[in-house]
Amino acid sequence: MLERLVGLPRVRVLAVEEDPLAVHVETRLEMPEACMECGSRARVKDRDRVPLTDLPCFGRRAVLVWHKRRWRCPEPLCPATTWTETCAAIASPRLKLTDRAGRWVTFQVGCHGRTVAEVAADLGADWHTVNDAVIAYGEKLVEDPDRIGIVTALGLDETLFAKRGKWRTKQWSTSIVDVAAGQLLDVVQGRDAAPAARWLADRDPAWRAQIRWATLDMSGPYRKVFDTMLPHATQIVDPFHLVRLSGQKLDEARRRVQNETLGHRGHKADPLYRARKLLVLAQERLDEHSQGKLTGLLKAGDPKGEVTTAWHAKEAVRELYSHRDPELALEWVDQLSADMRDRGCPPEVRQLGRTMQRWRTQIAAWHQAQVTNGPTETMNGLAKRIKRIAFGMTNFRNWRIRVLLYAGKPNWSLLPTITP
């Protein structure tokens, strides 16, 4: 009955201890092992008691004590000398959890996004014991070649991975995302062009050839990645990032004019400071009262009309996405960027116009495909959740495996078949 409760094949229960619950087992052998070098029948040299953290039993923490045989070859000239028996059904080598406990903690940490410390507390195990199992099983799961399927739209974006050293130097990582399927494909170190380009270079050329769209956020290094590795793909600048940039330039103009006219940062009674929230709202969201209030505050605090010009520029950028005509889009971007680069415009608006000129084809390409980088931002949000619950991570290998388990859509049905 005890052997049925233990539920492991080829295992004999030797004893059970209470407080804490410890079940002593050994493997059943029909005949001694043969030496892997010379083939001679091995002899038992001694036995090691290896405690393995197991799943809780009847609401109590349990330990499986494996009495492992240490074999020795009887031939004095055999190079094998001694070795220890292995049984993957009980536990993988060098892991301190049983096999079933290792799969359970991997699913809890990877799929449900639980912390390693929380799962370790449930089992009464050390943090490193659980983390080692998650990485061992998880790495095999995320490296499954069938996890990444056909990709037609690829997105790149950076995520802050860690802050290191005395000066809290920021360490970045790049998320590679299938934006059509909403799947995190991989995470590579750094936010420059080289790591992402190497990742794409390792993929099959036929796989790369199927990518039609490449989304990015006006990043020069990521543009270089797509130019080099996916020259056939149409690059698309996400509308959100362009509209956000126009809002940032409007805010920069408001702050500059505030200092030039009043000589200090915004106070609560200053007109431009009072208008800061109305300026970033979409024009159609302003009712008659709000529109009149904004007009009066700009008239009082913007003597040269520079903030007003920046506000109109922001609204003109938003208007660019009010239609879906691909042929009109490029002409619209060219005309709008030319108007913004006029000498009469504030410096912030001229800078926005120059940026739009450099990215003119990528901005207009959205009207053709209407593919956004939103799924990439979503994957970054999931990755940041893993970082928050872990209270910061500094080991990139641990970071990559845990993020891919949580957001990379691994095939969890393969977990019972994995042997780390």
Predicted pLDDT of residue 73: 86
Residue 276 and residue 185 share a domain: no
**Residue pLDDT, tens place only, 346-387:** 999 999 999 999 999 999 999 988 898 899 999 999 999 999
Does any domain span residue 199?
yes
Residue 253 and residue 311 share a domain: yes
In this prediction, residue 227 has a pLDDT band, given cuts at 50, 70 and 90, of very high
Q: Any idea which residue has 């290998």 for tokens?
A: 397
Predicted pLDDT of residue 45: 87
Residue 226 has pLDDT above 90, yes or no: yes
Does any domain span residue 129?
no
Does any domain span residue 377?
yes
In this prediction, residue 96 has a pLDDT band, given cuts at 50, 70 and 90, of very high
Residue 87 and residue 14 share a domain: yes
Domain span holding position 216: 146-237+373-415
Counting residues of the chain whose pLDDT is more than 90, the rounded percentage is 70
Closest of 236, 195, 175 to residue 366, by C-alpha: 236
- Of 63, 91, 119, the domain-final residue: 91
**Length of the chain, in residues:** 420
**Predicted TM-score of the model (pTM):** 0.87
In this prediction, residue 195 has a pLDDT band, given cuts at 50, 70 and 90, of very high
Contacts of 1 (CB under 8 A, 6+ apart): none
b/e 281-315 (16+ beta carbons within 10 angstroms → b): eeeeeeeeeeeeebeebbeebbeeebbbbbbebbe
CA 171 distance to own-chain centroid: 14
CA distance 105 to 108: 5
- What average pLDDT does the segment 210-227 reach? 94
Closest of 43, 40, 37, 3 to residue 23, by C-alpha: 3
Does any domain span residue 60?
yes
Counting residues of the chain whose pLDDT is more than 70, the rounded percentage is 100
**Residue pLDDT, tens place only, 58-80:** 888 999 999 998 888 888 888 88
Residue 391 and residue 307 share a domain: no
Residue 389 and residue 308 share a domain: no
Residue 287 and residue 359 share a domain: yes
Closest of 9, 78, 67 to residue 42, by C-alpha: 78
Closest of 153, 161, 160 to residue 236, by C-alpha: 153
Count of the separate structural domains present in the chain: 3
**Residue pLDDT, tens place only, 107-162:** 999 999 999 999 999 999 999 999 999 999 999 999 999 999 999 999 999 999 88
Contacts of 115 (CB under 8 A, 6+ apart): 109, 389, 390
**Residue pLDDT, tens place only, 310-340:** 999 999 999 999 888 888 999 999 999 999 9
